[in-house]
Amino acid sequence: MGDMQGHDVELDVTSIAHGGISVARLDGRVVFVTDAIPGEKVVARITDDRKKSFWRADTVSVLEPSEHRQAHVWSAASIDRDPARRAGGAEFGHIELSHQRELKRQVLVDALTRMGKVDEETTKGITVEALDGDDDLSGTRWRTRIRLHVDEAGRPGPYAARSHTVVAVDDLPLATEAVEAAAPLEQLFAGEEQIDVLAPSDGGARLIVGSQARTTVVERVGDREFRLDDGGFWQVHRLAAGTLTAAVQDLIDPERFDPRAMNLDLYGGVGLLAAAVGDRFGQATRITSVESDTRATDHAAENLAEWIGAAAVTGRVERWITELATTSSPGERQRLRDATVVLDPPRSGAGREVVERIASIEPAQIVYVACDPVALARDIALFAERGYQLQDLRAFDLFPNTHHLETVVRLSR
């Protein structure tokens, strides 16, 4: 270790970086600093000085606050607490909500232009859209699912920011009221590692202690019901599933959509986006949803049962799409060229192998749902190498008071 770790320094904060941290300079050196806002002068404690190229630091006090600074929406994460004991998961909670969205827009535009090689003209009109009701609630009360970790003494709580230290809290303001009310913050769970608290559309809140047996829950999007395991993946914001359904329906170019083609929904989960496509283009829509989790695929088959041409298959997307690309008959190849491919990969993105396989089947259009702007930008650059250009984009603030955002794009040749 160097000799600066644990020391407090004054920093001028210049810009935002991906990951909810700000960029500052100290004698020409880059310092990544938490709990700050671009434009501020802060006192920060150096937490990592091992690298020559940059250091890391936590803000401990603010000398010149931004006009966008507010009292933190979660006192457990506030700057008044020792950085090692600040609750994680609300790293933008000290920033006024509309400015959070502006910072997210900057991160997205920066990723698209620098890594995605998208020209600046294309990024001009980008905004990060708010979801209904979030402004009235200052970006709180949206999480329908929350994970608590258990400390040595058995007490549940969130991890501290950027560590695996469990911190005791007495409220969970980002959680919906039902989730907060059900969270057993005062109980002890000796010997357990984690507690999941969720409040699906139907049947009230529930806890999953450790790796308890799974039960099925129902989530509603508009008039449609989706069944899934209580511990299975579902969008966290109370309005996220409906927002993404509408966004995917909106971004598919109907001129390029063929209901009889071999349309694909990759990383399909329990069938949310395949159903969005089916609802937009009708009963005759053919679409295959591909998901590696067997339980999710079983639910997807049931959730998509009303479309005769819908299928849910279990498979790792990389392997499945490779097989499809290499074994399809001439007739299938034509139906793939007419296809719309929807994909919603994990945070790490689709990556080169999957991008190249998708591009090799030459689909009519690709609609990509991304929860990480940097991974998305890398994949956009890879698609561009294969002739697929960004045609349209919408970005959504599905995770208020955190640095995360969701982006949906359409690519075509």
User: 210 falls in which pLDDT band (50, 70, 90)?
Assistant: confident
Ligand-binding site membership of 229 (annotated): no
Q: Are 90 and 143 in contact (CB under 8 A)?
A: no
Give the angle 182-184-185 at the CA atoms, nearest 5°.
Answer: 120
**What pLDDT, on a 0 to 100 scale, did the predictor assign at position 212?**
81
**What pLDDT, on a 0 to 100 scale, did the predictor assign at position 179?**
98
Q: Are 354 and 318 in contact (CB under 8 A)?
A: yes
Mean pLDDT value across the chain: 96
Mean pLDDT of 94-117: 98
The Cα 58–Cα 284 span in angstroms is: 55
**pLDDT per position as a tens digit, 308-324:** 999 999 999 999 999 99
User: 211 falls in which pLDDT band (50, 70, 90)?
Assistant: confident
The Cα 48–Cα 69 span in angstroms is: 25
User: 106 falls in which pLDDT band (50, 70, 90)?
Assistant: very high
3-state secondary structure labels for all residues of 216-248: EEEEEECCEEEEEECCCCCCCECCHHHHHHHHH
Mean pLDDT of 66-86: 97
Those residues whose C-beta lies under 8 Å from the C-beta of residue 327, and which sit 6 or more positions away, are none
**pLDDT per position as a tens digit, 356-366:** 999 999 999 99
Instruction: For 264-332, give the DSSP string.
Output: EEET-TTSHHHHHHHHHH-TT--EEEEES-HHHHHHHHHHTTT-TTEEEEE--HHHHHHHHHHH--HHH
The Cα 336–Cα 201 span in angstroms is: 36
**Residue position matching structure tokens 């400015």:** 99
**Res 202 pLDDT > 60:** yes
**Res 224 pLDDT > 80:** yes
Q: How far is CA 4 from CA 8, 26, 50, 81, 331, in A?
A: 8, 12, 9, 21, 66
Catalytic residues: 371
The answer to whether the Cα torsion of 72, 74, 78, 80 is positive or negative is positive
**pLDDT per position as a tens digit, 149-176:** 999 999 999 999 999 999 999 999 999 9
When computed from its CA atoms, the radius of gyration of the chain, rounded to whole angstroms, is 23
**What pLDDT, on a 0 to 100 scale, did the predictor assign at position 2?**
64
**Res 213 pLDDT > 90:** no
Ligand-binding site membership of 344 (annotated): yes
**pLDDT per position as a tens digit, 371-405:** 999 999 999 999 999 999 999 999 999 999 999 99
Mean pLDDT of 276-301: 97
Mean pLDDT of 115-136: 96
Amino acid at 12: D
**Res 1 pLDDT > 60:** no
**Res 92 pLDDT > 90:** yes
Ligand-binding site membership of 356 (annotated): no
The Cα 101–Cα 225 span in angstroms is: 31
**What pLDDT, on a 0 to 100 scale, did the predictor assign at position 214?**
85
**pLDDT per position as a tens digit, 258-280:** 999 999 999 999 999 999 999 99
- Domains plus CATH for the chain? 8-69 (2.40.50.140), 104-133+233-412 (3.40.50.150), 145-220 (no CATH)
Least confident of 1-10, 20-29, 37-46: 1-10
**pLDDT per position as a tens digit, 331-340:** 999 999 999 9
